[in-house]
Structure 1
Amino acid sequence: MTTANTAAPATYFNLHTQGIGYLNRVREVPVRRGQPFMACDIAALHGASDDVEYTRFDCKVAGGEAERLIRDHLEDVRAERKVLIAFRIGDLWVDAFTYEKGERKGQPGASLKGRLIFIEWIKVNGQLTYKAPARQDASSAEPPSEAAEEHAPNPSHSADQAQNQATQPA
C-alpha cells in the first residue's frame, strides 16, 4: 500500500481596497539586486462631493495589464493632466519612517503602501480613455459624472508634500 502525500492547497484571505483617485508620481524604482519595478501614487477621493478629501497610497504596480496602462498614461501624468482612475489595491500596509528634511525633520511619519492590482477605467481631463472588459463575477464601478469631477481638484504633489499630507491627522 502506498501513501500519497495529499497536502491541502494553500488558501488565502484577500483584503482589497478600491476606489477612484488621481494618478501621480509615476516612476521606475531601481532595485540593487533584481529587476526594477514601476510605482505610482494615487490620491484617492472620499467624502462629500462638495468637500472632497484625499488619502494617498504609494503603490507598486503589479501585473502586466496594470503596468501597461500606467505606462500608456505616463506622459499624461508628466504633462500634469488630470488622470483619474478606478483602482483596486491589494496587500495594503503602513510604512513608518522618520522625516529627514524640512520642518518635520526628525519626526515620525507613515505612508500607506500597497500593490496596484487592477484598473477598472481611466479618464484623462474628463475623457474616458480606457474601460476594462466587463467581468461576470465582479460588479463594475461606473465612471463618475463630469459634474463630480469638476468639484474635485487634481491633488498633484511633490514627494515631500505628499509625505507630509500622509501623516496629517484625519
Structure 2
Amino acid sequence: MTNTSERSFFDLHITGIGYLNRIREVTPKKGDAFLACEIAALNGPSDDVSYVRFDTRVSGADAQHLVRRCFDAVEAEKKVMIGFRLGDLWTDTFTYSKGKRAGEQGVSLKARLLFISWIKVDGIEKYKAEPKPAETEQEPDETETSPSPEEKPVSKATAPKAKAASPKAARPSSEPADDAADARAPAMAESF
C-alpha cells in the first residue's frame, strides 16, 4: 500500500548575478521577523545591461549569515555583487504613495533567497561557496571486489585524504546539522 501523505513538488529556481541592496530586518504585524534584502539582478547583453529588481526573504542559515556579513559594506555604499539562486517567485501589487508616480499601480517581484554562490565587494572576491562533491560521501561496500593494482593508488590513497579534509566527513553522523554551520562561524564571523 502506498503512503498517500507523501507530497512531491516541482521547483522553479532563478539563478543569476546582481547587486545586493536594502538589507533589513522585517517585523510583520502577524508572524515572525525575517531578514530581507533587495537584489538588482543583471539582465540582457553585457554592453547594454538592464536590471531586474527582486525583493527577497533570505532563507536558510548560511544565506542569512552571508547577507548579515554584507550589511556594513552595503551601508557604506560599496558595490556588493553576488551570485544567487532564488525560489518561490511571486508578484505583489502596490500603489505608489509619493513621487511622480503617486497613485499609480506598481508590481514588485518577490522571492526567497536560497543560496549565495559567491560575493564580491568592490570587485574583490570575499566569499566563494565550496562545490558539492560529485559523488556521495558513503563508504564503499565491503563486498565489492578489490581494485586492480593500477587503481589502488588513486582510489585507496587519494580518497581517504580527500574525505579527511572535508569537515562534513570528519564529523560523526549523529551530530546535528546545525553544528556544521557553527563550525564555520569563526571563519565567517567578521563583516566584509
1:86-137 deviation line (CA, Å, top 9, x unaligned)? 0000000111111112211111110100000000000001111111110246
Q: Output the CA distance in 2 between the equivalents of 1:98 and 1:33.
A: 22
Give the equivalent residue in structure 2 for 1:72: 69
Tell me the amino acid that sits aligned with residue 40 of structure 1: C
Q: Output the CA distance in 1 between the equivalents of 2:120 and 2:2.
A: 51
Give the equivalent residue in structure 2 for 1:123: 120
Residue 89 of structure 1 pairs with residue 96 of structure 2: no
Higher normalized helix content (fraction of residues):
2
- Alignment counterpart, residue 27 of structure 1, candidates 13, 16, 24: 24
Give the equivalent residue in structure 1 for 2:110: 113
Give the equivalent residue in structure 1 for 2:38: 41
Q: Output the CA distance in 1 between the equivalents of 2:91 and 2:74.
A: 25
Q: Output the CA distance in 2 between the equivalents of 1:105 and 1:31.
A: 24
Residue 9 of structure 1: CA displacement? Answer: 1.4
Count of equivalent residues: 134
Residue 31 of structure 1: CA displacement? Answer: 2.0
1:52-71 deviation line (CA, Å, top 9, x unaligned)? 11100000001110000000
Q: Output the CA distance in 2 between the equivalents of 1:107 and 1:34.
A: 29
Q: Output the CA distance in 2 between the equivalents of 1:73 and 1:11.
A: 35
TM-score by length of 2: 0.67
Tell me the amino acid that sits aligned with residue 9 of structure 2: Y
Q: Output the CA distance in 2 between the equivalents of 1:65 and 1:6.
A: 33
Percent of counterpart pairs with the same letter? 53
Unmatched segments (≥5 aa) in structure 2: 135-192
The 3-state SS of whatever aligns with 1:128 is: strand
Higher normalized strand content (fraction of residues):
1
Tell me the amino acid that sits aligned with residue 41 of structure 1: E
Residue 10 of structure 1 pairs with residue 7 of structure 2: yes
Q: Output the CA distance in 1 between the equivalents of 2:124 and 2:55.
A: 25
Larger Rg: 2
Tell me the amino acid that sits aligned with residue 108 of structure 1: Q
CA RMSD of superposed structures (Å): 1.4
Q: Output the CA distance in 2 between the equivalents of 1:51 and 1:10.
A: 43
Unmatched segments (≥5 aa) in structure 1: 138-170
Q: Output the CA distance in 1 between the equivalents of 2:30 and 2:7.
A: 29
- Alignment counterpart, residue 53 of structure 1, candidates 50, 54, 73: 50
